[in-house]
Amino acid sequence: MASRLPLIAGNWKMNLNHLEAISLTQKIAFSLPEKYYAKVEVAVLPPFTDIRSVQTLTDGDKLLLKYGAQDISAFDSGAYTGEVSGVMLAKLGCSYVTVGHSERREYHNESDELVNRKVKAALKHGITPILCVGEQLDVREAGNHVAHCNTQLVEGLKDLTGEQVAKVVVAYEPVWAIGTGRVASSTDAQEVCAAIRVQLAEKYGEEVAAVVRVLYGGSVKSGNIGELIAQKDIDGALVGGASLQADEFTKLCALA
């Protein structure tokens, strides 16, 4: 049975300038001594404009904290105004990138096809994609949440080999739980995370399914992480709002 190191990734979204990013990173580093990193991997996902500052700090102080980006271009370079490529993110030492976050799917019309190209771009440059899947409230109420998430999963991983899929992190983020304070119950979150693992096993084999980390995201806080992470198929969390407060985020990481 493969053991999966829990991952807590803080999605800062479009918050904090580079000076505020330095301050928060320092506070996280100070409050989370090295001994914790044997039990949990911790990453922050700042806006693009902060990544260089976070890199300077983590490199300079040899921090065990990882960092990454919130999006990646499907292209490596060229006339794509406003885009940031995997080449650039890899050069900045990014370990992770979220792909297919529901806010990008909704506000930027990102399709499963584009998400799939972004997953491939991340892997090409040695960056771990955190592939986000999740249903809207009406989909859950209609009882179609598992099928919906599995479709996003299969399409997002299209044409990848089992070896590549083993390097991906999947985040189950029900849209109705993101930024709403309404967390999924641990049973509901486990149901979808388990279904994701079954789907991975069917397509890529048990060995691959056993190593892929499946996170839950949606109003995770220090008060609910314990119950969520106790579930068999939940290997950590993608944390939005609570990742912006050093005390709350480090408490949450220590409990994971």
Per the annotation, where are the binding residues for substrate? Answer: 11-13, 179, 219, 240-241
* 148 catalytic residue (yes or no): no
* 145 catalytic residue (yes or no): no
Q: How many residues bind ligand PEP (CB under 6 A)?
A: 14
Choosing from 8, 130, 133, 178, the residue that interacts with ligand PEP (CB under 6 A) is 178
Find the part of the chain contacting ligand PEP (CB under 6 A) among 29-37, 86-94, 155-163, 211-219. Answer: 211-219
One-letter amino acid of 226: G
**Taking the complex as a whole, how short is the minimal distance between the CB of residue 29 and ligand PEP, in angstroms?**
21
Q: Say whether residue 236 binds ligand PEP (CB under 6 A).
A: no
Choosing from 217, 222, 225, 228, the residue that interacts with ligand PEP (CB under 6 A) is 217
Give me the 5-44 binding string for ligand PEP, x by CB under 6 A, dash otherwise. Answer: ------x-x-------------------------------
Phi, psi of 132 (to 5 degrees): -95, 130
Choosing from 46, 174, 218, 236, the residue that interacts with ligand PEP (CB under 6 A) is 218
Find the part of the chain contacting ligand PEP (CB under 6 A) among 35-43, 59-67, 197-205, 212-220. Answer: 212-220
Residue nearest to ligand PEP (CB): 240
Q: Say whether residue 239 binds ligand PEP (CB under 6 A).
A: yes
Find the part of the chain contacting ligand PEP (CB under 6 A) among 77-85, 149-157, 185-193, 215-223. Answer: 215-223
**Residues with a known catalytic role:** 101, 173
